[in-house]
């Protein structure tokens, strides 16, 4: 399984895998195996890598240690959503075969930045993958309050309407795939099978400036499963669009 944590840590240092390999004195193909196949290096190289990247070895290779509960589910961390590459969404979306979920007030960045996002969702539905998109009701009190807290007033409601316009063609062929919610969202949640992206909302800060955690579900009661349950609760109470 790909070690996304290690790949992100190398990229955040501004390096590629070959430069990282040079820092460690190993063959670049060795580092490639660590990233692509998830192979765990020997303890000496784990410690050397951790010192080189400034990240604990237990975070880079949680399966090689006895991590704190939940750490093994943490695939990657992004200080802000703006640092989450659209290419990551494209890759996760392409790999999903069972379930794709979007829970957000608007998440216009998905429709604007991820190539062919709407068309790919439609293709997933046609191929039998479950797709559910839950957006904020632009006329609800929760959206109005969030707009005030972020200092953009009616701007958030306008984004909700725009996101709904982008998603409506998806619902024409699959009306069960789109709903609107009037609930307060403390995090936006994107699901791609067992990979979950949780964009936490910080008061007064737009979602793009708030952190994102990439989780991978391993157990029925871990952090990823908890995020999925939150998604399900909101979806169950959301209203279909007409």
Enumerate the domain spans of the chain: 4-67, 81-240
pLDDT of residue 237: 95
Structure tokens given for 117: 């996002």
CA pair distance 68, 128, nearest whole angstrom: 37
Tell me which residue of 110, 107, 202, 111 sits closest to 160, measured CA to CA: 107
pLDDT of residue 65: 59
This prediction has a pTM of 0.75
Which residues does residue 172 pair with via DSSP β-bridges, in sequence order? none
Name the fold adopted by 81-240.
Answer: Endonuclease; Chain A (3.30.870)
Structure tokens given for 233: 């609760």
pLDDT of residue 140: 96
pLDDT of residue 69: 52
| Residue-by-residue DSSP string for 82-121 | GGS-HHHHHHHHHH-SSEEEEESS--HHHHHHSTTHHHHH
**With the CA atoms of 82, 122, 183 and 201 taken in that order, what torsion angle do they form, in degrees rounded to the nearest 10?**
-10
pLDDT of residue 56: 80
Homologous superfamily (CATH) of 4-67 is: lambda repressor-like DNA-binding domains (1.10.260.40)
pLDDT of residue 73: 82
Mean pLDDT by 10 residues, the chain (242 residues): 87 91 94 92 90 85 63 81 90 92 95 92 92 96 94 93 90 88 95 95 89 88 92 95 78
């Amino acid at each position: 399984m790909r070690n996304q944590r290690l790949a992100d840590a190398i990229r955040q240092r501004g390096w590629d895998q070959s430069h990282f390999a040079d820092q460690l004195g190993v063959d670049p193909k060795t580092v490639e195996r660590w990233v692509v196949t998830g192979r765990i290096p020997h303890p000496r190289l784990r410690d050397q890598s951790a010192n080189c990247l400034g990240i604990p070895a237990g975070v880079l290779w949680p399966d090689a240690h006895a991590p704190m509960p939940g750490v093994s589910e943490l695939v990657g961390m992004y200080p802000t959503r703006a640092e989450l590459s659209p290419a990551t969404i494209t890759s996760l979306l392409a790999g999903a075969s069972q379930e794709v979920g979007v829970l957000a007030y608007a998440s216009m960045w998905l429709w604007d930045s991820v190539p062919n996002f709407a068309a790919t969702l439609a293709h997933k539905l046609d191929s039998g993958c479950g797709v559910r998109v839950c957006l904020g009701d632009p006329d609800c009190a929760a959206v109005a309050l969030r707009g005030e807290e972020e200092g953009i007033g009616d701007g958030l409601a306008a984004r909700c309407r725009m996101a709904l316009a982008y998603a409506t063609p998806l619902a024409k062929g699959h009306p069960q795939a789109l709903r609107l919610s009037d609930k307060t969202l403390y995090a936006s949640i994107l699901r791609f099978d067992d990979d979950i992206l949780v964009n936490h909302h910080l008061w007064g800060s737009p979602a793009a400036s708030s952190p994102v955690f990439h989780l991978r579900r391993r157990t029925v009661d871990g952090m990823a499963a908890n995020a999925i349950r939150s998604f399900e609760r909101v979806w169950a109470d959301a209203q279909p669009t007409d």
